Amino acid sequence: MKKRINRAVILPVVLVGIFLGTVSFRSDFFEIAKQIEIFTTLFKEINMNYVDETNPAALMDTAIKSMLTDLDPYTNYWNEQDVEAARINSAGEYTGIGALVKTGAEAITVVEVYKDYPADNAGLKAGDEILKIGDISVADFKEDAGELLNGAPDSNISITYRRQGEIRTTSLKRSAVELDAVPFYKLLEDNSGYIVLSRFNAKASTEVGRALKDLKNQGADKIILDLRGNPGGLLNEAINVSNIFIPEGELIVTTKSAIEKYNREYFTKKEPIDTKIPLVVLVNGRSASASEIVAGAIQDLDRGVIIGARSFGKGLVQRPRELAYGTQLKITISRYYTPSGRCIQALDYRRRDEDGKAVRTRVEDYNEFTTRNGRKVYDGGGILPDISLETSEFSDITQALLIEDAIFNYATKYYYSHELSDPSEFNFTNEDFNDFKKYVENSGFEYQTATERELNDMLEKSEDEQIRTRISSEISNIKTAINNYKKQQLEDKKPEIASLLTDEIIKRYFYKEGLYEYYTKNNPEIERARAILNNPSEYSKILK
C-alpha cells in the first residue's frame, strides 16, 4: 500500500514545484504555496492513516472537482477519457455505435440514433435502456459505462437492453462515426437557402461555405442560417463562419482577461463568400458560446436579422491546459465581447446567492450599446433577437420538463402507440397536448417556481421566529395559488412546449434529417424568416 500512496503523492509534489515556478511573480505566491503544502500533507496523512482502505485517485478527483465548483461550470478537470471525448467533439469523428446516449446509475438511455450507423442497423431506438454491454452490467460499472460503447473499428459487441419493459438483446459492429457540422441544407421554393449548423467543430466553416456555394449555384438569393440548439465549440470556427458573410478585416470578437496575453481582438482574415445576400440567423435558449459570437457579430454589424428567442448567454472563453498523465484543465481564461462592446454573459459567477448559485444579470442592469447603423442592443443576457417568437422560448416550466425528461419520455410513449409514414402528415393536435398534460400529471412531475423558493425560505425563517402557526392559513392560500399558476403554465406555454414535443416525436420516426425536412414546411421560425427575407423593405427597415 505504501508504494501506491507514494505514487499518489508524487503528482501534487511535482505540481507544487511547477506551480511555484510559474507564479513566483505573483504577490500572493506565498499564500498559494502555503495552501498547496497544507493540502499535500493532508492528502498524504489521509491515505497513510485512515481507518479504511482509500482510493487516492478518487479522493483527488473529488477534491479537484469540488474546488472547481466554486468557479464557473465551464472550468473543468478532464481525465484521459474526457480529453478523448473533447477531441472527438472538436474533430467531428469517432469509432462507436452511432448514437447519442445518457448514462444513468442503472442503465444507459439511448437519446438519439444516427441514421444508417451500427445502432440504427441493429434496431436500437431512442428510449431504449442499455443494461449490459457484453458481459458487463451497467449498474455494476463504476466509471462512465458509455465509454464501453466505443472501441476499435469493426469490433463486435453484444448489447442487452430494455424496451417498453421487455428485455432484448442485439449485436453490432462498431464503425467510424462522422458528425457533420452541417447535417442538413436545402433550397426552398422561394429560393431561400436553409442551412443548419449544429456544432462548431473543426469542419464548421468549411461545411457552411460549401453549403452556401451549392445553394447559390442552385439559385438561392437569400439565406437562413439555423443556430438553434447549437451549444458552440471552437472560437476560431466562429470567426471563420462569420467571415463567410462579413468582409475581411472586420472585428468579430474581443476577449478580455486579468492575464494580459489573453486580451485579444479577432478579425476576419479571409475573402468572404457573400457579403450582400440577405441573411436571417435563427437562435434560441440553447444557442450558446460560438453561436452567440456569430449571431452577435451579424447583429452588431447589421449584416442580417436575428429571429427566435434570447440565446443562452455564455460569454466566457475556455482554453485546455495540459496536466500530467494525459489529463487536462479546461479553464475559463477570459470574457468575450461582440463588435459593439457588449458581453452577453448572463450569469455572474463572481456574485452568488444564499444557495451559492450564480446571480443572473437583471434586465435593469443591462447596458445599452449600438450597432453599426445605430440600433440599440444590450449586454448581460444573451443575444436578444430582432424578432422574438414564443415558439422558440424556454420558460422555467419548459426547462423543468426537459430536465425531468418528460418531453423525451412522452415522445417514446407516443412513438409506440402511433403510426406515422410521412412527416408532412404529422400535426401535434390539441387532443395530443391534452394527453401530454395528463401524462405529466400522472408522472409525478414537479418543479419549483422562483416564488416557491422564496416562500420556502420565508417558512424557514417563520419557524425560527415562531410565527408560522399564525400565518398558516395565508401560506395555504399562497400555495394553492401557486399550484393553480403552475397548472396554468402548461397551457400558457403551450406553443413552446408543443414545438419541442413535435421535434422529439418527428425525430423518432424520421431521424434528425426528417426533422429538418419537416422544418422547411412547418416551422414557425422558418416561416417568419422567409416572410422577412421576401419583404426587402421590411428587412431593410429592421436593420436601419
Q: Is residue 5 pLDDT above 50, yes or no?
A: no
Q: At 101, is the pLDDT very low, low, confident or very high (cuts 50, 70, 90)?
A: very high
Backbone angles phi, psi at 347, to 5 degrees: -105, 135
What pLDDT sits at residue 464? Answer: 60
Q: 433577437: which residue's cell? A: 385
Q: Is residue 312 pLDDT above 50, yes or no?
A: yes
What pLDDT sits at residue 8? Answer: 44
- CB-based contact 424:523 (threshold 8 Å): no
What pLDDT sits at residue 4? Answer: 42
The H or E element spanning position 410 is helix 406-415
- Mean per-residue pLDDT for 439-452? 83
- d(C-alpha 114, C-alpha 118), whole Å: 9
Q: Is residue 465 pLDDT above 70, yes or no?
A: no
pLDDT tens-place string over residues 133-150: 999 999 988 777 888 898
What pLDDT sits at residue 437? Answer: 93
| Cα–Cα separations (whole angstroms), residue 163 to 98, 157, 401 | 19, 19, 22
Any residues with CB less than 8 A from the CB of 293 and at least 6 apart, and which? 235, 238, 239, 242, 252, 253, 336, 338
Q: Is residue 16 pLDDT above 50, yes or no?
A: no
What pLDDT sits at residue 395? Answer: 87
End-to-end CA distance of the chain: 72
What pLDDT sits at residue 90? Answer: 72
Using DSSP, state whether 110 is helix, strand or coil.
Answer: strand
The 10 Å Cβ neighbour count of residue 153 is 10
Q: Is residue 1 pLDDT above 60, yes or no?
A: no
CATH class of the domain at 184-388: alpha beta
Q: At 452, is the pLDDT very low, low, confident or very high (cuts 50, 70, 90)?
A: confident
- Mean per-residue pLDDT for 481-498? 87
Q: Is residue 187 pLDDT above 50, yes or no?
A: yes
- CB-based contact 252:239 (threshold 8 Å): yes
Read out DSSP for 214-239? Answer: HHHHHT--EEEEE-TT---B-HHHHH
Read out DSSP for 175-193? Answer: EEEE--SS-EEEE-TTSEE
Read out DSSP for 116-161? Answer: TSHHHHTT--TT-EEEEETTEEGGG--S-GGGGG--STT-EEEEEE
List active site positions.
289, 300, 314
Q: At 451, is the pLDDT very low, low, confident or very high (cuts 50, 70, 90)?
A: confident
Q: At 95, is the pLDDT very low, low, confident or very high (cuts 50, 70, 90)?
A: confident
pLDDT tens-place string over residues 347-361: 877 777 666 677 777
Q: At 414, is the pLDDT very low, low, confident or very high (cuts 50, 70, 90)?
A: very high
Q: Cite the beta strand spans of 261-386 per DSSP E.
A: 264-267, 279-283, 305-308, 316-322, 328-337, 347-352, 358-360, 368-370, 376-378
Grid coordinates in use for 203?
A: 469542419
Of the listed ranges 235-239, 334-338, 383-387, 448-452, the least confidently predicted one is 448-452
Q: At 30, is the pLDDT very low, low, confident or very high (cuts 50, 70, 90)?
A: confident
- d(C-alpha 439, C-alpha 409), whole Å: 10
Could you tell me the CATH superfamily of domain 93-178? PDZ domain (2.30.42.10)
What pLDDT sits at residue 380? Answer: 83
112 strand-pairing partners: 100
- CB-based contact 245:275 (threshold 8 Å): yes
Average model confidence (pLDDT) across the chain: 88
Reference 158, options 118, 105, 102, 111; nearest CA is: 118
What pLDDT sits at residue 454? Answer: 73
- d(C-alpha 266, C-alpha 305), whole Å: 22
Instruction: Report the residue count for the chain.
Output: 544
Q: Is residue 169 pLDDT above 50, yes or no?
A: yes
The 10 Å Cβ neighbour count of residue 293 is 29
What pLDDT sits at residue 27? Answer: 56
What pLDDT sits at residue 537? Answer: 97
- Mean per-residue pLDDT for 93-113? 92
- d(C-alpha 345, C-alpha 336), whole Å: 9
Q: Is residue 81 pLDDT above 60, yes or no?
A: yes
Reference 223, options 471, 542, 530, 452; nearest CA is: 530
Q: 442497423: which residue's cell? A: 121
- CB-based contact 297:230 (threshold 8 Å): no
Say what the alpha-carbon torsion angle 381, 520, 500, 538 is, to the nearest 10 degrees: 40
What pLDDT sits at residue 354? Answer: 64
What pLDDT sits at residue 142? Answer: 73
> b or e along 279-288 (b: 16 or more beta carbons within 10 Å of the residue's beta carbon)?
bbbbbbbbbb
- d(C-alpha 424, C-alpha 444), whole Å: 33
* Domain residue extents for the chain: 2-68, 93-178, 184-388, 396-445+493-522, 450-490
